[in-house]
Amino acid sequence: MSAFSLRTRKRLAAALVFMIAGPAGTDVVFVLEQEVSDLFRRIYEEVQTMPARPGERFIRQEFFIGEGDDDTYKDIAVSIVLPGEDAPPDMIVQITWMKRVRRDRRVAVARSTKTLRFILEADGTRLEGDEPANGEIAVLARGLFTAVRNKKRLLGKAPSRGFREPREYP
């Protein structure tokens, strides 16, 4: 049995595949960018159908990315803000990586944060902000899409039609 957890082994395998396939050609990178662009467009459409909080003219939702159903033990917190109807279609995503406190494993503090802005265009989405490392954005997009769909199910909202779950999970 390996000393690495299953999650770590999956991440290492994904990084290895990306490193091997990256120099072979730009086709793999282009397909990855298209998949990420498509996933963030789907995330935008899913969050847009969720209700705004009373008194707010924008939609703000929080999600947690990780394994299992209990958000207490998930290590990535994501906040999504969709500006009001008068603004151009864009989405602000704040990703916070959490670090567990040694005394109580249920308590987590922010380790690092990145803020991304996705502008929806006719041919996809354009990313503004400090982009995560290569390949990490795809894993985050898949995990976030799954978290959005799970929260909609929890709230009793039906997921948007025509979308299927991503093939891989983080």
Q: Describe the crossing of helices 6-24 and 26-48 by its angle, rounded to 10 degrees.
A: 130
Do 117 and 127 meet the contact criterion of CB atoms below 8 Å apart?
A: yes
- What pLDDT shows up at residue 24? 47
What's the pTM value of the predicted model, to 2 decimals?
A: 0.70
- What pLDDT shows up at residue 127? 85
Do 78 and 64 meet the contact criterion of CB atoms below 8 Å apart?
A: yes
Distance between CA atoms of 135 and 19, rounded to whole angstroms? 9
Per-residue burial over 111-133, b = 16 or more CB atoms within 10 Å of its CB, e = otherwise: eeeeebebebeeebbebeeeebe
- What pLDDT shows up at residue 21? 52
- What pLDDT shows up at residue 74? 85
Task: Provide the 3-class DSSP secondary structure of residue 99.
Answer: strand
Task: Provide the 3-class DSSP secondary structure of residue 59.
Answer: strand
Domain range spanning residue 59? 6-154
Do 170 and 139 meet the contact criterion of CB atoms below 8 Å apart?
A: yes
- Asked if the structure places residue 71 within a domain, the reply is yes
Instruction: Centre a 10 Å sphere on the Cβ of residue 75 and count the other Cβ atoms it contains.
Output: 15
> pLDDT truncated to tens, each residue of the chain (170 aa)?
456 676 676 666 666 555 555 544 444 455 577 888 889 999 999 998 888 888 888 889 999 988 877 777 788 999 999 987 777 788 999 999 988 888 887 788 888 889 999 988 888 888 887 777 767 888 888 899 999 988 888 878 766 655 555 554 44
- Asked if the structure places residue 160 within a domain, the reply is no
Distance between CA atoms of 115 and 132, rounded to whole angstroms? 10
- Asked if the structure places residue 168 within a domain, the reply is no
Q: Which residue matches tokens 């498509």? A: 38
- Asked if the structure places residue 115 within a domain, the reply is yes
Q: Token pair for residue 168?
A: 């891989």
- Asked if the structure places residue 120 within a domain, the reply is yes
- Asked if the structure places residue 104 within a domain, the reply is yes
- Asked if the structure places residue 13 within a domain, the reply is yes
- Asked if the structure places residue 114 within a domain, the reply is yes
Do 128 and 154 meet the contact criterion of CB atoms below 8 Å apart?
A: no
- What pLDDT shows up at residue 162? 54
- What pLDDT shows up at residue 169? 42
- How many structural domains compose the chain? 1
